[in-house]
Structure 1
Amino acid sequence: MVKKQNNEKKKKQVIKSEFYKQLESQKKIAEQQLIISLYSHIDSFYDYKVKVENITDTAWKFYYILLRDLIKINKISKIDELTVNAFVSTRKEAYQKLYSKYGGYKTIERAIATVESENIDGQYLQMQKYATLLRFCEMGFPVERNWDKIQKMDLEEINAYFEGLVANAFIQTDFMQDKVEDLFEDVTRLIEDADAGVDVGLPLNSPLLNEVQNGLPLGHITLLGAHSGVGKTFLTIMMHITSCIKHNEPLLIIANEEERPRYVFNLLTAYINLKHPNANFNKRVFHRGGFTDEEKELLAEAAEYYKNNVQDNIIKFVNMQEFNMGKTIKIIKKYANLYDIKYFILDTLKLDNDTQSRANDQSWLQLQQNMVKLYNVIKPSNLNVHVWVTTQLRKDNRNSKYLEQSSLGIAKNIADVVSSLVLVRMVSEGEKGGKGLVVKRGKRQVILKEDNDYMLFFWDKNRQGSTNKQAILRVDKGRNMVKDIGYTKIDQQLM
């Protein structure tokens, strides 16, 4: 008890020191600047993790809560006096009194005029820096004694500095830094979680593919690669989007090549031919125009189906005019937090636009780094969402029979952080008719008909299943129809 009292007394002494007060003052400034910058850049609100209880200044704590409520409850897209005042008028009396006490909208207006809101990243890092230093002071670390060094450091350098101090203290010991756990701790709970399907993801709209892929688990990336014209968007629609619709699963499509109508027309076509197999409805009618009465009737039925069976806003779409991974990550953060969306599609992975214009010889490195940034945001310990990413294979191996990670070209390391790498090509004419590929479904051998088109799926990487066999689907990209056919094995060594 005496020891505990001494520790509390020591903590109070630290908190009351002049040095601590200086750090606290710097933290308050950074907090105010960040919160005001968020008022100027509402779209960035979810990019910065700020805990209300950690905001030091009570007035700016209130203004942060006000902004959070405006975004979450009213889902506003911009800030102005009329909008803010109208919202506050709907809140409880105590809420309104605090708003008035702290100066109302005038306080926001004055602060916006004085704060450089474009430096929002720097403000956030400054806030984190001083919050960290205050905690170090409370724990008795020698911050003040080494202030000449520390004050010039950024947050990353401070982290390395104090890690070095701690590591130095243990340098002559055999103490292991990694946590050692009992392997079978909570084994019963782990079994129960597995039984409940905790790790089961959204199934692909193909039992054949799903048997290998085992769904799209949260916290992971699935990378789909194919050459230009093979049908990456076609497969994304038929395997992923239709599955989200079938299972009523919210989805956000982030596109940078195709416009929204193409996705809609593909889904309309898929419904018509599934519901009316003999209609022979081909999506080229959308390019031809001048619909026949029969086509109008079929399209009206399909439109009515989607209107009645797909909840409003469950499938969201954004077309990026200029691709940028930083902007993509912001969109994912926003919609994962604001709308609790768990599944995202990025169609197609590209270099950031500013890199393309510079013709950077190390563009592959940017692609690799961007994928790492993407994974760090969506992984289980962060947002815990799934992202389906499409990418184009290198042009010089269009005739390769066996597809693997090297088919991605110099950017092959983008696959390092993905859970599943699925590579797709069309079955060649020489592989049909039982001449080239031995295809089986169960114990039955299947002959590929020469008049049909087939897609061949390779798994170079698959954390949820095997990679030792390839799947074949029959496809009709004009009528948006797919059918499971069977499995084959291609000897990599002979290709």
Structure 2
Amino acid sequence: MPNRLTENRDLLESLFVFGLWKDPKCFRSFRNKIASGEFFSSVPAQFYYNLGLNMFEKGYDEFDKVSVATTVNAIPGLATEYNKLGGFETYEDVKRGVKSENLEGLYNDITKLNCLTTLHEKGFDVLGNWAKMQKMNTEQIRRYFSFQLNDTFLNQSNANSKIEDFTITDEDDHFFQSGSAMGFSIAEVAPLLNYELLGISNGLTFIGAASNVGKTAFMIRVLFYSWLKAGYKVALASNEQGLREFKQLVIAMVSHELNNKEFLTRRRIKMGNYTSKEGALYQAAKEYINEHLAKKVMFLKIFDYSMDSVEQFFEIASARGFKAGIYDVFKADDMESGAARGQMIEASKVLFNCADRNQMSIVASIQLALYMENTRYLRLSNIGHSKQVVEPATEVILIRELWDCECSGEKYDIKCYNFEYNPKTGQKIIGMDGKPVKKFIEIPAGTHEDYRLAFISKTRNAKKGVVIVFRYDGDANDWVELGYATKISTQDRGMNRK
């Protein structure tokens, strides 16, 4: 490895690791950022980092000679390696020159060296541009080499614009006649919604709801899980829930699907300490997921709301053959700042262009404005920080709970209906008036919390304003599409609602 990439590297790593030792609470800020076995290049740094993290997770808030020795001696074989690397004296030799306020800078310096080393190993001319590299941070380096690639390949073909012939070709014939213009199907769970939208199209789709209504749950069951079962590969990026939370959600869905009445609920999965029967249910779900689903998922956990990371992730996913992506949750870097509206508008453009450029279908969840939670008929204006945020989107679906006053037999009642179908042909039965025969589905009073209304607020494939009724079981994350909602009043409900 060239000297420029290794000089001072061991010192940087020592200062960083023992800076964490000096102020152990700092492990909390960095442990999720550091990939095990990949961040440090030196054996001592990796060893002392792992030892310090182990002590921090056991509750030590100060590392002294006695506490470190106690931890080392409790783990078989660790003392030999510890003494070989100099023991506690190694820390004492370095700690005087360490300041916890320098940790972020040291972390960034090591991250930058890791990136430069990887680029060099892949054949990029890092050393020839060393003076430039020294002045850049990691994100600037990424953009620099990305620009070089774009300049070399994309711009040669004038990728930003293309003059084309309007003649309808044989390829067009095949595209239209094969139904390729349809988006990714969600008919497994939501045939009516799928019919109205003609699937989830390439481009950008937003799923909006207020907090705790189920927008993430909806995306995971109706889209993510359905697509995986259909054989599609799905890229999933999240800046709120972690990988284990999504795994838990999918385990509950699979367990419910495999066993129906006897399954592991989301709550039971969290609690652990399973009975032998529950253990068998868990094992069956695990085996199904690992055999049929896991290899079709690419997951990214984001620790901020930077669109750079999201865009880069979907670019990589597309290059690996992923054509469906989910982003949970779409927000600005600082939702409370005055710049949030502008940030979100620009970020939505970036996400749309990423989807369009890579011919992907990207679906993002988005929060509805809290101050409009009493709105009965959901519209684009319900989206926080301006409906301009969703302007680039192809489709927007907004979800809310059914309210008790809408299944009480009174003024604001919502009726749910589907159609009668011929069991042999699958076609709608036509009545004497020449219209499809409707069948109405009762929503019992007092069960409103088990139902959700999905408003098609923007689409290029159907009428706006169509509302679909779902029954929702949070224990299994099971969504059952019941039918269409009859006309919903535009009269908002009062503040002293039930």
Question: TM-score, length-normalised on structure 2?
Answer: 0.63
Q: Which residue of 2 aligns with 1:480?
A: 477
Q: Which residue of 1 aligns with 2:465?
A: 468
Q: Give the whole-Å Cα distance in 1 for the aligned partners of 2:444 and 2:184.
A: 32
Q: Which residue of 1 aligns with 2:440?
A: 445
Write the letter of the residue equivalent to 1:391: I
Q: Which residue of 1 aligns with 2:380?
A: 405
Q: Which residue of 2 aligns with 1:170?
A: none
Q: Deviations over 1:262-316 (max 9, x none)?
A: 1111111112222222215321112322212211111111111112222x53111
Q: Give the whole-Å Cα distance in 2 for the aligned partners of 1:397 and 1:197.
A: 39
Q: Deviations over 1:181-216 (max 9, x none)?
A: 86xx31775443212122122112321321222211
Q: Which residue of 2 aligns with 1:14?
A: none
Residues 1:458 and 2:479 are matched in the alignment:
no
Which of residues 333, 336, 347 is equivalent to 2:318? 336
Write the letter of the residue equivalent to 1:319: K
Q: Give the whole-Å Cα distance in 1 for the aligned partners of 2:152 and 2:125.
A: 24
Q: Give the whole-Å Cα distance in 2 for the aligned partners of 1:274 and 1:127.
A: 46
Residues 1:213 and 2:197 are matched in the alignment:
yes
Greater relative contact order structure (CA < 8 Å, 6+ sep)? 1
Residue 333 of structure 1, CA deviation: 1.2
Q: What is the percentage of aligned positions where both structures have the same residue?
A: 18
Alignment partner of 1:248: what SS? coil
Which of residues 338, 346, 366 is equivalent to 2:327? 346
Q: Which residue of 1 aligns with 2:252?
A: 269
Q: Which residue of 2 aligns with 1:303?
A: 286
**Aligned counterparts, 1:171-250, within 5 A:** 185-186=167-168, 190-204=172-186, 205-218=189-202, 220-250=203-233
* Bigger helix share: 1
Contact 2:201–2:394, Cα closer than 8 Å, also in 1: no
Residue 451 of structure 1, CA deviation: 5.5
Spell out structure 1 runs of 4+ moving beyond 6 A.
122-135, 178-182
Q: Give the whole-Å Cα distance in 2 for the aligned partners of 1:127 and 1:134.
A: 11
Residue 179 of structure 1, CA deviation: 8.4
**Aligned counterparts, 1:21-420, within 5 A:** 79=117, 108=125, 110-116=127-133, 118=136, 120=141, 121=143, 185-186=167-168, 190-204=172-186, 205-218=189-202, 220-279=203-262, 281-310=264-293, 312-337=294-319, 339-352=320-333, 355=334, 359-379=336-356, 382-420=357-395
Contact 2:251–2:286, Cα closer than 8 Å, also in 1: yes
Contact 1:227–1:394, Cα closer than 8 Å, also in 2: yes
Residue 236 of structure 1, CA deviation: 1.2
Write the letter of the residue equivalent to 1:399: N
Alignment partner of 1:409: what SS? coil
Write the letter of the residue equivalent to 1:450: A
Alignment partner of 1:291: what SS? coil
Taking a change above 3 Å as real, the CA distance of residues 389 and 111 of structure 1, as seen in their structure-2 partners, is same
Q: Which residue of 1 aligns with 2:400?
A: 425
Q: Give the whole-Å Cα distance in 2 for the aligned partners of 1:482 and 1:271.
A: 13
Taking a change above 3 Å as real, the CA distance of residues 211 and 434 of structure 1, as seen in their structure-2 partners, is farther
Contact 1:432–1:450, Cα closer than 8 Å, also in 2: yes
Alignment partner of 1:296: what SS? helix
Q: Give the whole-Å Cα distance in 1 for the aligned partners of 2:228 and 2:155.
A: 49
Residue 108 of structure 1, CA deviation: 4.8
Q: Give the whole-Å Cα distance in 2 for the aligned partners of 1:82 and 1:179.
A: 38
Residue 377 of structure 1, CA deviation: 2.1
Number of residue-to-residue matches in the alignment: 348
Q: Give the whole-Å Cα distance in 1 for the aligned partners of 2:445 and 2:129.
A: 68
Q: Deviations over 1:124-157 (max 9, x none)?
A: 769989999999xxxxxxxxxxxxxxxxxxxx9x
Taking a change above 3 Å as real, the CA distance of residues 113 and 388 of structure 1, as seen in their structure-2 partners, is same
Taking a change above 3 Å as real, the CA distance of residues 333 and 201 of structure 1, as seen in their structure-2 partners, is same
In structure 1, list runs of 5 or more residues that go unmatched: 1-75, 85-104, 136-155, 157-177
Taking a change above 3 Å as real, the CA distance of residues 113 and 290 of structure 1, as seen in their structure-2 partners, is same
Q: Give the whole-Å Cα distance in 1 for the aligned partners of 2:155 and 2:190.
A: 53
Q: Give the whole-Å Cα distance in 1 for the aligned partners of 2:165 and 2:154.
A: 28
Question: TM-score, length-normalised on structure 1?
Answer: 0.63
Alignment partner of 2:221: what SS? helix
Residue 327 of structure 1, CA deviation: 1.9
Write the letter of the residue equivalent to 1:405: L
Contact 2:441–2:482, Cα closer than 8 Å, also in 1: yes
Q: Deviations over 1:313-337 (max 9, x none)?
A: 3111111011201221111112212
Q: Give the whole-Å Cα distance in 1 for the aligned partners of 2:119 and 2:353.
A: 37
Residue 372 of structure 1, CA deviation: 0.9
Write the letter of the residue equivalent to 1:417: P
